[in-house]
Structure 1
Amino acid sequence: MTGEPTDPTGFNPLAMVDMWEDMHALVAAWESKHLANPAVAAAALEEFAAALVQRPKPF
């Protein structure tokens, strides 16, 4: 990242537990919808995560 803190002030790290639960449900639904297996879902999530980090900031 470009000088951004990975743990910004005020961020509650326990919120990541909620994110993991939400992502697990989303991935399970995506796998079912697209008849994908966990390896394909993992590859898709890796690509998404890379794009998420590189996305431009909104104005």
Structure 2
Amino acid sequence: MLQGIIGAFGVRVPVSYFMSLRPNPSLFEIGLATPMSSIVQLILYLGFMAILKRREKQ
């Protein structure tokens, strides 16, 4: 659940806001915030799983 909040409010909202501030923003550029958020959420998930596996081995 925390990864979803980080992805939405930590990545998607700021990236879409900053993309809209650029001169002549297009909907495509603003929409790139969604895949960027998904990539960050995937990295967080994989990192968490790696930490859990490392703890499990100890």
Compute the TM-score of the two structures, normalised by the length of structure 2. 0.37
Q: Which has the higher contact order (CA 8 A, sep 6+)?
A: 2
More helix by share: 2
TM-score (norm 1): 0.36
Q: Which has the greater radius of gyration?
A: 2
